[in-house]
Structure 1
Amino acid sequence: MPNIRHDPRAPTRAQTLTAGARIDAHRHDEHQIVYAGSGVLAVTTAHGTWFAPGTRALWVPAGAVHAHRAHGHLALHTVGLPADDNPLGLDTPTVLVVSPLLRELILAYTRDPEDPGPERARLLAVLRDQLRASPQQPLRLPTATDPRLAAVCALVHEDPADPRTLAALGAATGTGERTLSRLFRTEFGMTYPQWRTQSRLYHALRMLAEDLPVTTVAHRCGWSTASAFIDVFRRSFGHTPGAHQRRGRPAAGNGPQTPGPGPDTPAIVP
């Protein structure tokens, strides 16, 4: 990630990003909670891409270099916490399950970040308690360091519906199946089918954020039937793709507004 920007403070705010907008690579001296009230958020580091729909949030620890990308109309909410305030005890980016209560706390806390009143301190105290109780979920696409593994991953990312087996992908890239299988386990800690499912879910979230029909998304991402896709999606996120699309659409006129340029406003590149 070249041209890494250093923003000492991790801002607390709400803003709107258009589909495809990016926030360039940067780091903070503070921790940050990143939540998408609508749309899908992807956060990329040197180690991989974490992705979260509206029922998930991302924990970004202090010092972690990261970049954001919006899929769909993104209502972005961020909460900054001091470096010595780590209620989760995590030192790597992590996806967290967002309960209805935690969602409302994040929305309320980012609504008026300049409010110095005692209500905000109480909101933050409850928010921190809810963070501690939030289950972690490994929604991450790790970045391959071995060029042989990277070549196979690139083929699958290019076409999530590619039906080829690991042996066939290895033949196409000049690497044996056993070697690739070992690399998936040693580098990613998962099997090829497990990684492929994560990759397909990532692409599915991106396509759903663009309001593509569920059946179209299922076939473009490699599921043989829409019902098979719906089953995997429900087990991964707790609701169907259709429900995900409905809850991801912002209410007209109620979305947060993008703030004007300021010292804590990341550069947004369309």
Structure 2
Amino acid sequence: MTSPHLRHPPFRDKLPAPIYFRLEKMPANATYPVMRHAWGEFVYSFSGVTELRLAGQHLLAPPHMGFWIPPGVQHVGFNRRAAVHFSAYISEDLCGAMPERTCSLLVTPLLRAILDSLAETRFTNTEAQSRLLRVMVDELGNCATADSFVPESADPVLAPLLEALRDSPADARSNAQLARAFGLSERTLVRRCTQELGMSLSEWRQRVRVVRGISLLQEGQSVESVALDLGYGTASAFIAMFRRITGSSPARFVGR
């Protein structure tokens, strides 16, 4: 990222309530400072892609997904394109049912409904709102987890290849062509992707295209235009890939 807009959290040392939330509209190339706090944090993306970097891990939250940051974990959040995200700050004594590691969360329909409701208001610390926030925390504990929607690797050979594909999702080169371009054998490339990413390179590339596709669709591009931008010959091929990974068509997913 270049020329980032630096944003600061509303507080650093103490929460104003056991559970606090806010909705943040972030411009393109915005970032927070490196942070470590005594409470847990849940971040949910309403639009755009919110990213989180910490030691040995890089998480992305495309729209309608989120991630969990346990208390005491050093991290930095940022976004490359304009984004709107929801942050919930949860005191440590209420984090018992949450994962002990930083991870992506697959948001349940009930949690999504709660977040949609909270996004229409602001933090008031009323008794009614406090009850709803406690239900939100309970439901967070029911969410399925994943290490990352689009995992990264610190492998010195694989990392540059992944960065090149992230920058150019429409790159149509085969595994064999990519392996040659980055000084690997195809067998070595396949093995390193399995070990480092926990998935095939093909699956990883499709997830990158989903993330980029969501951003383009939210900017107003048509499904047909996005499909072509991402290297698909037809819109139907892009829709089939998108539906397989997200369980929804592009139009319905973004329309949420």
Q: Which moved more, 1:58-67 or 1:179-188?
A: 58-67
Identify unmatched segments of 5+ residues in structure 1.
Answer: 248-270
Question: Are 1:112 and 2:106 an aligned pair?
Answer: no
Report the CA distance between 1:216 and its aligned residue: 2.1
Runs of 4+ in 1 over 6 A off after TM superposition: none
**1:210-225 correspondence to structure 2 within 5 Å:** 210-225=219-234
**Cross-structure match for 2:50:** 41
Q: 2:50–2:77: 8 Å Cα contact kept in structure 1? A: no
**1:1-270 correspondence to structure 2 within 5 Å:** 7-9=12-14, 12-64=21-73, 65-69=75-79, 71-72=81-82, 74-109=83-118, 111-113=121-123, 115-137=124-146, 139-247=148-256
Q: 1:55–1:99: 8 Å Cα contact kept in structure 2? A: no
Report the CA distance between 1:172 and its aligned residue: 0.9
Identify unmatched segments of 5+ residues in structure 2.
Answer: 1-7
Which is bigger in relative contact order (C-alpha 8 A, separation at least 6)?
1
Secondary structure class of the residue paired with 2:192: helix
RMSD: 2.7
Residue identity opposite 1:122 in structure 2: R
Cα distance between partner residues in 2 of 1:96 and 1:220: 28
Alpha-carbon displacement from aligned partner over 1:73-129 (angstroms, at most 9, x marks no partner): x3321111122322543133322233443123234456332x333213311221122
TM-score by length of 2: 0.81
Report the CA distance between 1:155 and its aligned residue: 2.4
Alpha-carbon displacement from aligned partner over 1:214-247 (angstroms, at most 9, x marks no partner): 1222222233321121122123223221223333
TM-score by length of 1: 0.77
Secondary structure class of the residue paired with 1:224: coil
Residue identity opposite 2:140 in structure 1: L
Cα distance between partner residues in 1 of 2:132 and 2:102: 23
The structure whose residues are more often strand, as a share, is 1
Aligned identity (percent) is 29
Cα distance between partner residues in 1 of 2:247 and 2:96: 25
Cα distance between partner residues in 2 of 1:118 and 1:127: 14
Q: 1:61–1:93: 8 Å Cα contact kept in structure 2? A: yes
Cα distance between partner residues in 2 of 1:150 and 1:38: 27
